[in-house]
Amino acid sequence: MAEENKVKLHGMWASPYVKRVEIALKIKGIPYELVEEDLVNKSQLLLQYNPVHKKVPVLIHNGKSICESLVILEYIDETWKNGPPLLPQDPYKRAKVRFWTSFVEKELLENVLLVVRSEGEAQEKAIKVVFEKLNLLEEGLKDLFQGETHHIDGENMGILDIFLCSLFGAHKAQEEVLGVKFIDPEKFPLLSSWLTASTEVAVVKALQPSHEKLVMVYQFLRQKALQPSAAEVEVKEGVYVSSLSRSSAF
């Protein structure tokens, strides 16, 4: 058997984008070295491997770098064919999964971030949009699951499951910081039960930061956005992020 080339992942513990890649690597059983980046003081390697966006996650495999979490996930699925597939086989089912994954990324994530970063009337508006999008997703799930119970375990988590729990795995922390309950089982029964099942998967559970840490992350993102002074933020960011990193390991 040919020896697998070393896999490295440049990441940051609080990033949901990095989390997606870690879940995928673990589901496939791919050993990797995690390089923790200080996003205030990015490593030369990171800037070299992702000169265009200068962001995490970056996957290094066979000496080549791949960036953007969705692109990385598709790369992982196409390169390591031995582990459980991250996408279904059928082209039409694949198209549906890709469509909803794009929806979670562009329509849901963007608007949740808007809620985090705004207040007053702007925030009210953003919250309304998130609920509209969640409604659409709930409807979409009826079509996607087609009456079958979508059974999730370590064997059949796919890119949509991964994207969803990377965003709403932190829903309790989001609720605490924002005072809004997005994942309401009465409003969104399919979504709630799907999310619960996803976050119970051993691999996902092991990678999830503690509730306290997630609350700090969301509080930090909110403060940073609503903070008037940029200079103050930069200093605070360095101290805050480092202190978050140094606090108890998870």
Partner 1 sequence: MAEEEVKLFGTWGSPFSRRIEVALKLKGVQYEYIEEDLTNKSPALLNYNPVNKQIPVLVHNGKPVAESFVIMEYIDETWKHNPILPADPYERAMARFWAKYIDEKFWPAAKKTVVAKGEEQKGAIDEIQQQMKNLEGELKEKKFFGGESLGFLDIAANIIIWLVVAQEALGMDQILNEEKLPVLHGWLHRLLDDAVFKECVPPKERHLDFFKVKFGSSIASK
Q: Which of 88, 140, 221, 233 binds partner 1 (CB under 8 A)?
A: 140
For residue 83, what are its two tokens? 């582990």
Cβ-based neighbour number of residue 36 at 10 Å: 13
What is the SS3 assignment for 67?
strand
- Of the two residues 80 and 218, which places its CB atom closer to partner 1 in the complex? 80
Smallest separation, CB 15 to partner 1 (Å): 18
For residue 1, what are its two tokens? 């058997």
* Nearest residue to 133 via CA among 161, 157, 114, 156: 114
Tell me, residue by residue from 54 to 93, as one string, x for binding to partner 1 by CB under 8 A and - for no binding.
Answer: -------xx-x-xxx-xxx-xx--xx-----------xx-
Angstrom distances, CA of residue 72 to CA of 57, 61, 104, 115, 168: 9, 11, 17, 27, 20
Smallest separation, CB 28 to partner 1 (Å): 13
Interactions with partner 1, residue window 33-52 (CB under 8 A): 52
Smallest separation, CB 23 to partner 1 (Å): 18
- Of the two residues 98 and 224, which places its CB atom closer to partner 1 in the complex? 98
- Of the two residues 98 and 236, which places its CB atom closer to partner 1 in the complex? 98
Cβ-based neighbour number of residue 232 at 10 Å: 10
Smallest separation, CB 201 to partner 1 (Å): 25
What is the SS3 assignment for 35?
strand
Distant-in-sequence, close-in-space partners of 173: CB < 8 Å, separation ≥ 6: 211, 214, 215, 217, 218
* Nearest residue to 39 via CA among 242, 246, 247: 242
- Of the two residues 66 and 214, which places its CB atom closer to partner 1 in the complex? 66
Conformational region of residue 47, where left means phi above 0, alpha means psi within -120 to 50, and beta covers everything else: alpha
Smallest separation, CB 175 to partner 1 (Å): 26
- Of the two residues 59 and 116, which places its CB atom closer to partner 1 in the complex? 59
Reduced DSSP (H G I as helix, E B as strand, rest coil) percent helix, strand, coil of the chain, to 5: 60, 5, 35
Q: Which of 103, 172, 222, 224 binds partner 1 (CB under 8 A)?
A: 103
Stretch that binds partner 1, among 31-39, 99-107, 123-131, 145-153 (CB under 8 A): 99-107
Q: Which of 8, 28, 98, 222 binds partner 1 (CB under 8 A)?
A: 98
Smallest separation, CB 209 to partner 1 (Å): 27
Number of residues that bind partner 1 (CB under 8 A): 26
Smallest separation, CB 194 to partner 1 (Å): 18
Q: How many angstroms separate the CA atoms of 47 and 115, rounded? A: 30
By CB under 8 A, name the binding residues for partner 1.
Answer: 52, 61-62, 64, 66-68, 70-72, 74-75, 78-79, 91-92, 94-95, 98-99, 102-103, 107, 136, 139-140
